[in-house]
Amino acid sequence: MDFLSQALIYLAAAVVCVPLAKRLGMGSVLGYLFAGILIGPFILGFIGKEGQDIMHFAEFGVVMMLFLIGLELEPSHFWRLRKSILGLGSLQLGLSAGILFVILIAAGLRWQAALAISLALAMSSTAIALQTIKEKGLSQTVSGQASFSVLLFQDIAVIPILAILPLLAVHGTKISESGHQTFIDQLPGWLQTISLFLAVGIVYSAGRFLIVPMLRFIAKTHLRELFTASALFLVVAIAMLMQLVGLSPALGAFLAGVVLANSEYRHELESDLQPFKGLLLGLFFIGVGASINFELIGSQPWLIAGLVIIVMTVKAAVLFVTGRVFRLSNDQNLLYTFALSQVGEFAFVMFSFTGQLKIITPEWMSTMMAVTAITMTITPLLLVLNEKVIDPRFGVKEKPEDREADQIEIKHPVIIAGFGHFGSTIGRFLRANGVEATILDNDSDRVEFLRKMGFKAYYGDATRVDLLNSAGAAEAKIMIAAIDSPEANMHLVTTVKKHFPELKLMVRAKSRIDAYDFIDMGITDIYRESLHTSVKMAEDVLTNLGHRSYTAVRQGQKFLQYDEEAMIRMAELRHDQKQYILQARENFRMQEELLSQDLRQNLSENDHAWDSEEIREGLAKNSETVKQ
């Protein structure tokens, strides 16, 4: 059977099985797994060993998923979750591996084999857990955050685990799956370990000093398809590099994502790779379903069933206990337990690796891979059981106010699209008053310049729905449409109104004609260009976020005063970019400090008169005068 015929069978199975699974409330992951079982060699037999070519291709879905997870791992996000990542993650991995190690030793395995197998079985499936949690809208619940923390710790822990496995090897050489020796095959175990750490260092350094300049160069072409091609090239190149040195491609992609998490191209990379990740990850799940060896299960049913029950029971017990230690409520703890009780996709890599190192026998490797595939297949069923039976009784979904607070901690409540002279005034004012915003701009040179000046801006076309989703438009409170091009700004407003109707729009108009067009579209918050109207718009953002009207107006006037003073000083340096940037950063720091001090001053009782009905009406009239 040729490649196209295999691909057609995979896609047809997905098109039939996934909608049926979704219709029955079982989720897409279970649909993909059943599709693989159905077309696999043990039922319809449409695919067999010849399907391995597509499986290798589909494994890039896991690679891209880990890359995207790495992109989301900003230092600030990691720091917020540090207790759950290090605490929950290390406790779960240590206890699960420890208990399974004792059980395997009691079963008669050598300690090297028992240690390697127990570490692999302690891993959970990032692909299944995160995909299912995201589909059910539980990403920001307590259980969703706990699951993400444990999975993130496991993904990081795979690096040292793979590095120490060569030290357990009985034989000193390793042959890759393709039958060819890898770059470090002939090295002793301790040198292989050092080489693996060096490979990690190379990926990190390349991300910092080669990839970002390359993306910056590509971005200047303003060709979306070229940027998409460069994103795919990046993932494939890293995967190939990691294979050459004997490491998992998914790990390399994860590391590269972490390195790029702070770059201005994070959202653009995420939105470009998302469609490829979804398709390839679906093919990967189909491949997992097709790879379940029913002949092996039929020949040793009690052994396989016993191992599946033992592994999932041990992991579920450890997860439930660790959840209680970290004070998860019963409902959230049960969801967290069910979501992570399976063995993960990294176990396939680790079992293959330990088999090549002769740490475990081929028979044990096949058995453990069958156990892994079965646990992955069972997990969506357990989650359906949890949703249909446990959910209605215990109510696993959090209260709306709790969930909204979690979203605000992770996503900025304000998004600014376009950071030219208009948008930058708003952004500076908001930041000076303690309000952070997600900044999107389609000019790569401007984004680079802004980052030098201390702003965390992101390159990308804000009129794209996938980019807006990546930037958190579904959870944000306010979208500021401040793009220089009136046509692009109009396109953005149309897109936001269609796909994010709950998101409050505050729009820049370049002329009276543009304002008329926005009025026809039902937009009420329209601001025509000038320094004063952009500051007025920023004041309105503060009041919409809960600040008192008097405080917002006073801060706006102070901001204008400081900005006028700074403009005189900056005029002399405008031809010297280096000095201009240094002085600008100092001006911003002083401006923010002065405004912050003013905000902390105790207000007299008379200040509350600014919030009286009479004054509010006067301010409204003044606002209309400024707009006109």
HEC assignment per residue over 475-508: CCCEEEECCCCHHHHHHHHHHHHHHCCCCEEEEE
Question: Which pTM was predicted?
Answer: 0.58
- SS3 for 165? helix
Mind listing the domains of the chain with CATH numbers? Answer: 49-400 (1.20.1530.20), 412-627 (3.40.50.720)
**Dist CA 472 CA 322 (whole Å):** 31
**Dist CA 268 CA 434 (whole Å):** 26
**Dist CA 368 CA 346 (whole Å):** 12
**Dist CA 146 CA 148 (whole Å):** 5
Measured over all CA atoms, what is the biggest interatomic distance in the chain, rounded to whole angstroms?
86
Q: For residues 177 and 352, is the Cβ–Cβ distance under 8 A?
A: yes
- What is the CA angle 127-132-137, rounded to 5? 130
Q: For residues 313 and 338, is the Cβ–Cβ distance under 8 A?
A: no
Q: For residues 141 and 396, is the Cβ–Cβ distance under 8 A?
A: yes
DSSP alpha helix (H) spans, 261-300: 266-291, 294-299
Question: For residue 172, what pLDDT is reported?
Answer: 45
What burial letters (b/e) apply to 414-429, b meaning 16+ CB within 10 Å? bbbbbbbebbbbbbbb
* DSSP bridge partners of 509: 528
Q: Which residue ranges of the chain lie beneath pLDDT 70?
A: 1-3, 25-27, 47-59, 61-62, 72-81, 135-141, 163, 170-193, 195-196, 245-248, 349, 390-411, 444-445, 512-513, 528, 531, 564, 567-568, 571-572, 574-576, 598-628
Phi, psi of 511 (to 5 degrees): -150, 175
Long-range contacts formed by 187-196: CB under 8 A, 24+ apart: 190/166, 192/166, 192/246, 193/163, 193/164, 193/166, 193/167, 195/245, 195/246, 196/159, 196/162, 196/163, 196/166, 196/245, 196/246, 196/247
Q: Count of residues for the chain? A: 628
Q: For residues 489 and 483, is the Cβ–Cβ distance under 8 A?
A: yes
